[in-house]
Structure 1
Amino acid sequence: MKRSSRTVKEDLLQEVTVKAVNRILTDSDGFLRQMQENIVKAITTADTMSPDSIQARLDELQKKLIRKVNSKQDYDAIADEIFRLREQKSQAEADIRSREEPRKRIDELQGFTGSQQSEIIEFDESLARKLVQQITVYDDHFTVEFKSGLAIEIEA
């Protein structure tokens, strides 16, 4: 009986996934160290002010705004800056949340590699869904990208 090309492709992708996961297991320290370095770089290159420092500036401006209103002075510039800082604070909080996701993925991968006693020998769909973001197919190799941000090349 001839297997469908879809089944052959699925089998190949499953085999590539198993190889990539096993590559992480055999050199888990190196891969995890690389991911942590990437996250540290991403965090240190983020040049947004912290939400706390933005809030401190907002508090200052709100006091100035009240003084200007009470003395019937023009306060448009202060109000504009308050609106701008509120947007900036919202963006800074979103940036912090988005940086938390890779940290969680690294923790998951560390937990997996730490609990795994040996290489895996067969494809596990739930494990693949949990760890693998995407697989890119090239003529001579595959690139398996994990949700943690790590990418591994597997020869075809």
Structure 2
Amino acid sequence: MADEIYRLRELKQNALIENAEREGKRQRIIEMAEFLDDQPRELEEYDEQLVRRLIKKVRVFEEKFTVEFKSGVGADVDYY
């Protein structure tokens, strides 16, 4: 019986942690959307500040590259 209580407490703790992570990701997406709404719609030149604010990592492969945003969202871009 005690083992079951400990197991259920651990499951509850894991669920709380997952919920907090999800909420954090949701909040980062909202912040990114608000930031993008404040930006001009068309960029005419490279904006270092914008890139550093939004992009966490870019990975280059033979047939595509992957952009990982700081919000946790990713995008694959195929080469033409």
State the TM-score bracket (shorter-chain normalisation): 0.7 to 0.9
- The aligned amino acid for 1:123 is D
- If each structure's helix is expressed as a fraction of its own residues, which one has the higher value? 1
Cα contact 2:66–2:75 (8 A) shared by 1:
yes
Q: How does 1:2-151 map to 2 (within 5 A)?
A: 77=1, 79-120=2-43, 121-124=45-48, 126-148=49-71, 149-151=73-75
2-side partners of 1:117 and 1:123: how far apart?
Answer: 11
In 2, Cα distance between equivalents of 1:113 and 1:154: 24
Cα RMSD (Å) of the superposition? Answer: 2.2
Structure 1 runs of 4+ aligned residues shifted over 6 Å read: none
Percent identical among aligned pairs is 40
Conservation of the 8 A alpha-carbon contact between 2:64 and 2:76? no
The structure whose Rg is larger is 1
CA distance in 2, matches of 1:96, 1:153: 30
Partner Cα distance (2:51, 2:78) in 1: 16
Secondary structure of residue in 2 paired with 1:127 = helix
Task: Give, in whole Å, the separation in 1 of the partners of 2:4 and 2:65.
Answer: 49
CA 152–114 in structure 1, closer or farther in 2 if over 3 Å, else same:
farther
Residue-by-residue CA offset, 1:32-85 (whole Å, 9 max, x unaligned): xxxxxxxxxxxxxxxxxxxxxxxxxxxxxxxxxxxxxxxxxxxxx2x2222111
Question: What is the TM-score of this pair, normalised by structure 2?
Answer: 0.74
Aligned residue identity for 1:119: E
Distance (whole Å) between structure 2 residues aligned to residue 109 and residue 91 of structure 1: 27
Where does structure 1 lack aligned partners over 5 or more consecutive residues? 1-76
Deviation at 1:111, TM superposition (A): 0.6
- Structure number with higher strand proportion: 2
